[in-house]
Amino acid sequence: MREQFVIGIDFGTESGRAVLVDVRSGKEVAHHVTPYRHGVISERLPESDVLLKPDAYLQHPDDYLEVLETSVPSVLQQAGIKPESVVGLGIDFTSSTMVPVDRQLVPLCRKPEWNRHPHAWVKLWKHHGPKAEAEKIDRIAKERGEPWLSRYGGKVSSEWMIPKCLEILGEAPEVYHAADLFLEAADWVVALMTGEVKRNLCAAGFKSFWSKSDGYPSEDFFAALDPRFADITRTKLRGEICPVGERAGRLTPAMAERMGLRPGLPVAVGIVDAHASVLGAGAVDPGEMLLVMGTSTCHMLISDEEYEVEGISGVVEDGILPGMYAYEAGQPAVGDLFAWFIKQGVPEYVQREAQSEGMTVFQWLEQRAAQLRPGESGLLALDWFNGNRSILDDAHLSGLIIGYTLGTRPEEIFRALMEATAFGTRMIIDAYRASGLGVNQLVACGGLPQSNQLLMQIYADVTGMEIAVVSSKHTSAVGAAILGSVAAGSAEGGYDSIPEAVRRLACPRVKKFQPIPEQEKVYQRLFREYKILHDYFGRGGNDVMKRLKQIREEAGFSASGDHR
C-alpha cells in the first residue's frame, strides 16, 4: 500500500510550524518551524514611524503565508515524499487573532491607503486595546440579562473578537467601514488556500458569542453597544459557520503552487490552537482534562452535557468534537512566570554555579528545588502575576509571595511559584467538579511538561491525580492534521470521523506521574492556605491588589506596561 500523509499547521504567537503525519501509523514523519519575520508588533508599525499604544499587539499577515510557503515544502522534502502522497491538510491558530480584509480578502494593512493605520493590521490574540470595550460589553450584557454570558463564566475578555471589532468601530470608524469582513486569522488562511470563507465554529463559539442553538446575540444587544454596531453579524462577521472536522474546500491551483502541494487537496475548517491540542493529545474521553502548558496554561475538557462553570473562558457545543460540549479555562502566566523569575529574580551566584556545573539556570533551580520537601520552603504564592483568567476572571489581580525569611533562597521561591501554578490548576479542577463535571484523569502537553519532571510531580501531588504527559512537542499541529485527515475522508485516504482519526493519529503518552501520598497530604494543607488567600484577595475580602494598580496608574505608569 502506498504511504499516505496528512499535514497539520499550527500558527502560534511567534512562529508557525508544520508537521507531516503518516495517516496509517500516526507517526510524525517531519516537522518544520518558520519564525514570523515580524514577530509580535508592539512598538511601531513595520517600516514606518507609526508608534503603537502600550496595549497594542499586532501581526503581519505575510508572515502566515511565509509559513505556508516554507514549512510545508520543507516537511515534504525532509520526508522525501511527493505532493500526491498528502491526502489532507488542517490548520490551527491563536485566537482571537483577527484580520480586517477587503472584498478580495486582502488584509487592509497590505493596502497603501491603510498600511499606516494600526487598526488596519492583524490584532493578535493578546492585543489588549479593547479593555474598556470588553467591560462595556460585560456591563450591558449583564444589564440586559443576555443568556449567552453564562457560557463564558459571566465575563468577557478583551482578547475576544467582538471587543476587538468594537474597538475599531470606536477608534477608527473609517477602518471599520473600509473592512468588508473581520476574519479569524485561521479562517482567513483557510479562505486563502481554498477560495472559500468558512468560519470555524470553535473560534465563533469561544471568541464571538456564537452558539449552535442560539446563533449570535441579538441585533438589539449589538445596537445597545453602539447603534452602528447593530448589524455586525450580518455584515462584518457574516459567513457560514462550519463545524470542526468539515472540509472547508480544496486547495486552489495558485496556492498549491506556492505551497508545493497538489491542487484539489482537501483542507479542513480551522480550529483554535489549544483546542486542536485536545485532538492531538487524544484527550477526548469524558473526565479527561487536558493541560496545555506553555507560557500560559489552558485547561480543556470535553463532556456530553452542558454545565455552568464559575469563571471559565467558555463552553461551546461542538466546539471540538461534534455532539459534545467543549470547555476551556486558563491561567495566563505559567511558563511566563518561571521565565520572569529566571530573568528578574535569580542571583548571580546561581548563574555562576549553574555554569560551573554545566547546567542551565532552569536546570540548576529545578535540581535544587527537587531536593526540597513540600512545605519546606515555608513560602506560598499566588500565581496572578498576569492576573487571574479563570474562576476570578480578573486582570487587575497581581502576584503575591508570603513566608519570606532572611534565609529564603532562590530555589525555594522557584518551587513556590511552580506550586502556585499547580494550586491555580487545582482551583479550576475544583470549579469544574463543583459544577457537576467529572475530572478524573489529567493529560499534559505543551513545552513545559516534557522538560520539567518536578513540575509534573508537583501537579500530581497537588491535584491528587495521575498525570500523563504527551510525547509530541507539536500536539496542536497533530490536532490540525487530524482534522485534515477527516476533511479527506476515507474515500480519499483519511478518516470519516474525528473520533476515529483521533484513535489512529493522536500522539502517544510517554510518561505518567503518580501522586505520592505523603506529599499529597502536605499539599492539601498548603492548598487550604492558598484558597484562603485566593478568596481574601480575589473575592473582595481585601481589594488591595486593585488599589495598588490604581495608585500605580495614577503615579503615571500605564498598567499595561506589564505585558512588555
Q: Give the binding site for its own copies (CB under 8 A).
A: 333, 336-337, 340, 343-348, 351, 373-380, 385-386, 398-410, 522, 525-526, 529, 532-533, 536-537, 542, 544-545, 547-549, 551-552, 554-557, 559, 561-564
Give whichever of 128 and 247 is closer to its own copies, judged by the CB atom: 128
Contact 267, 194 (CB under 8 A): yes
Backbone angles phi, psi at 470, to 5 degrees: -80, 140
Q: Are 183 and 191 in contact (CB under 8 A)?
A: yes
Q: Of the two residues 330 and 410, which places its CB atom closer to its own copies in the complex?
A: 410
Q: How far is the CB of 528 from its own copies (least distance, A)?
A: 9
Give the shortest CB-563-to-its own copies separation in angstroms: 7
The residue among 94 and 377 lying less far from its own copies, judged by its C-beta, is 377
At closest approach, how far in Å is the CB of 530 from its own copies? 9
**Burial class of residue 84 (count of CB atoms within 10 Å of its CB; 0-12, 13-18, 19+):** exposed
Give ∠ CA 204-209-212 in degrees, rounded to 5: 65
Q: C-beta of 331: minimal distance to its own copies in Å?
A: 13
Strand partners, 317: 325
Report in angstroms how near the CB of residue 18 gets to its own copies at its nearest. 30
Phi and psi at 165, nearest 5°, equal -65, -45
Which one, 233 or 519, has the nearer CB to its own copies?
519
Contact 537, 545 (CB under 8 A): yes
- Work out how close the CB of 15 gets to its own copies at its nearest, in angstroms, rounded to a whole number: 21
Q: Please say which residue, 80 or 556, places its beta carbon nearer to its own copies.
A: 556
Q: Considering the complex, what minimum distance in angstroms separates the CB of residue 388 from its own copies? A: 12
Q: Could you tell me how far CA 527 lies from the centroid of its own chain?
A: 26
Q: Shortest Cβ distance from residue 418 to its own copies (Å)? A: 15
Per the structure block, which three cell numbers stand in for 564? 512588555
Helices 410-435, 517-538: crossing angle, 10 deg rounding: 80
Whose CA is closest to 330, among 436, 253, 428? Answer: 428
In 10 A of CB 341, how many CB atoms?
20
Q: Which is nearer to its own copies, 497 or 524 (CB)?
A: 524
Q: Which is nearer to its own copies, 119 or 549 (CB)?
A: 549
Tell the residue number behind the cell numbers 481585601, with chain if given.
Answer: 542
Asked if 18 contacts 67 with a C-beta cutoff of 8 angstroms, the reply is yes
Beta carbon nearer to its own copies, 129 or 270: 129
3-state secondary structure of 547: helix
The distance of Cα 500 from the centroid of its chain, to the nearest Å, equals 25
The distance of closest approach from Cβ of residue 537 to its own copies in the complex, given in angstroms and rounded to an integer, is 8
Distance of CA 7 to the CA centre of its chain: 20
Instruction: List C-alpha distances in Å: 348 to 353, 362, 379, 399.
Output: 9, 13, 22, 23
Which lies closer to its own copies via its Cβ, residue 106 or residue 401? Answer: 401
